[in-house]
């Protein structure tokens, strides 16, 4: 029984790998789609998460605060207020990740889960990387992104990814020592990567 987090560059095969790994292990798979259900259970809008992660200029506002229920704001900050600050948002995101990890037997893709769960017993953090050319090919073939827009979309995604993780985790967000295993996906087929991760988790957990 374990929690496995997967941190990845966009178009490095993270979601596909995560689904295959979860199926192989009999674990629950959690990414953007299932986080929506978790967010609803906690009275937090999925739009909140999307807006926060996709825009470098995004800041909390009265409009943003309306996406939260009053009871949830009170539970997070201790009193009713019309504006939710970034720290409160980060606290809510942390709660989502921690609540998910409590389920155990789960593969969590993205959402800086590795940072919030660092030091957690029986929790293993995997990082996937790949060069731009490989990612462009994957984006076109697997994600149906138009060839002429692939590099532009990936570069924009990388900028947002960098901003988001620096904000959440600080400047050492990509510290290699935060991860149990890093895989260059241009060297390892996804199916083989699943086998490697399963083997590594079994060894580390024994």
Specify which residues 7 forms β-bridges with.
Answer: 127
Which tens digit of pLDDT belongs to each residue from 18-53? 999 999 999 999 987 656 665 565 555 666 556 555
| % of the chain with per-residue pLDDT over 90 | 51
* Structural domain contains residue 106: yes
Q: Enumerate the H helices of 102-131 as residue ranges.
A: 113-116
CA angle, corner 99, sides to 56 and 118, nearest 5? 70
Q: Residue 110 maps to which CATH number?
A: 3.40.50.300
Please give the tally of structural domains in the chain: 1
* Structural domain contains residue 158: yes
Specify the pLDDT at position 79.
42
Q: List CB contacts of 120: < 8 A, sequence separation 6 or more.
A: 3, 101
pLDDT top residue among 15 and 91: 15
Which tens digit of pLDDT belongs to each residue from 126-171? 999 999 999 999 999 999 999 999 999 999 889 888 888 888 888 8
- Residue 111: band (very low, low, confident or very high) from pLDDT cuts 50, 70, 90: confident
Calculate the average pLDDT of the chain.
Answer: 81
Cα separation, 7 vs 24, in Å, equals: 19
Specify the pLDDT at position 196.
97
* Structural domain contains residue 194: yes
CA angle, corner 186, sides to 180 and 191, nearest 5? 70
* Structural domain contains residue 69: no
Specify the pLDDT at position 197.
97
Cα separation, 108 vs 100, in Å, equals: 8
Cα dihedral sign for 191, 26, 142, 111?
A: negative
Specify the pLDDT at position 78.
45
């Amino acid at each position: 029984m374990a929690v496995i987090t997967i941190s990845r560059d966009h178009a490095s095969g993270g979601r596909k790998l995560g689904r295959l790994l979860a199926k192989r292990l009999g674990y629950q798979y959690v990414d953007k789609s299932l986080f929506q259900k978790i967010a609803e259970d906690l009275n937090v809008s999925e739009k909140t998460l999307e807006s926060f992660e996709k825009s470098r200029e995004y800041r909390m506002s009265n409009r943003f605060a309306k996406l939260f229920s009053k009871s949830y704001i009170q539970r997070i900050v201790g009193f009713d207020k019309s504006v939710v600050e970034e720290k409160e948002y980060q606290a809510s995101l942390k709660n989502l990740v921690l609540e998910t990890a409590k389920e155990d037997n789960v593969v969590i893709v993205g959402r800086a889960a590795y940072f919030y769960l660092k030091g957690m017993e029986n929790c293993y953090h995997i990082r996937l990387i790949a060069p731009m050319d490989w990612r462009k090919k994957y984006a076109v073939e697997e994600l149906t992104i138009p060839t002429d827009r692939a590099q532009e979309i990936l570069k924009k995604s990388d900028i947002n990814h960098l901003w988001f993780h620096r904000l959440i985790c600080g400047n050492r967000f990509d510290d290699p020592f935060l991860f149990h295993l890093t895989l260059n996906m241009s060297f390892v087929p996804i199916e083989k990567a699943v086998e490697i991760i399963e083997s590594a988790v079994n060894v580390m957990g024994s």
